[in-house]
Amino acid sequence: MFNTLFKFKTGNTNLNLDLSTIDLEKVPQHIAIIMDGNGRWARAQGKPRTFGHQAGAETLKNIVKTADKIGVKIISAYAFSTENWKRPVTEVNFIMELLSRYLTSEIEEFHKNNVQVRFMGSREGLPEVVRQKMEHAEKVTAENTGIILNLAINYGGQAEILHAVKNIVSDVESGSLKVEDIDAQHFEDYLYTKGLPAPDLLIRPGGDLRISNFMLWQIAYAEIWTTDVYWPAFTPEMFLEAVKAYGGRERRYGGLITK
């Protein structure tokens, strides 16, 4: 058990998080988050949707800090999907610019906090400047040993599986891989998450009860936690609530618990 208060400053507010009810033994290693509801959050205040994306980017920083503090090893956060290109070009452009700015302004802070930044998704189709910032962020933080922030940008679960299948076929054709050697473990080496354990907990704010093409392979046995609260309004306290709920779940993986 933690017996401390976790204090940190976010914008103009000082947060005092009570960690005493978090059971260290039951903290998920890997948490996946579908950061949804930015647009509706902004609209509810009579602001443009882009305002919500800006606020959502701030939320992520606080959640990563909190996650790191309680011993979570990996946060996989859905920032932009392969389907989000269907949105109006002005919104897409805003998100790309926001990503580019975020990867510049926040990288020093992440680096200082020993966060390792990784990405998953297709780099093809992304603006050159975003790709460069992604490469830079990865390079600068590659040796960091703290929490891994795995950002999903131009990511789709189906696209990821197709990408893996194509590479597998190509390796079989070139003779470096035998069909009989392809098993689930081997298959995972072809996914963007190679080397990472599967998410234990999937959090979806924003009220929709669906997966929206996120980590289809990897979430096979993830515990799911949802809230109607929109992502920009999602707080570290709510994050701790999800972690606590996870601690009370019984994971069976299709088997039986023998007591």
By the criterion CB under 6 A, which residues form the site for ligand IPE?
34-40, 78-81, 84, 95, 206, 208, 210, 212
Residue closer to ligand IPE (CB basis): 67 or 70? 67
Residue closer to Mg ion (CB basis): 38 or 193? 38
Block residue for tokens 């990405």: 119
Least separation in angstroms between residue 131's CB and Mg ion is 24
**Contacts (Cβ under 8 Å, ≥6 apart) of 197:** 29, 30, 74
Residue closer to Mg ion (CB basis): 35 or 191? 35
Per the annotation, the verdict on 36 as an active-site residue is: yes
Residue closer to Mg ion (CB basis): 19 or 96? 96
Active-site hit among 3, 12, 38, 84: 84
Instruction: Round to whole Å and give the CA distance between 250 and 253.
Output: 9
DSSP secondary structure letters along 35-78: ---HHHHHHTTT--HHHHHHHHHHHHHHHHHHHHHHT--EEEEE
Pick one of 30, 31, 35, 36: the residue that binds Mg ion (CB under 5 A). 36
- 208 binding partner (options ligand IPE, Mg ion, none; Cβ < 5 to 8 Å by kind): ligand IPE
Per the annotation, the verdict on 167 as an active-site residue is: no
Least separation in angstroms between residue 36's CB and Mg ion is 4
Sign of the dihedral defined by the CA atoms of residues 117, 64, 84, 189, in that order: positive
Instruction: Round to whole Å and give the CA distance between 259 and 127.
Output: 54
Least separation in angstroms between residue 121's CB and Mg ion is 17
Contact stretch for Mg ion (CB under 5 A) within 34-42, 146-154, 175-183, 223-231? 34-42
Active-site hit among 23, 36, 167, 189: 36
**Contacts (Cβ under 8 Å, ≥6 apart) of 105:** none
Instruction: Round to whole Å and give the CA distance between 183 and 213.
Output: 23
Question: Which residues make up the interface to Mg ion (CB under 5 A)?
Answer: 36
What residues act catalytically?
Answer: 36, 84
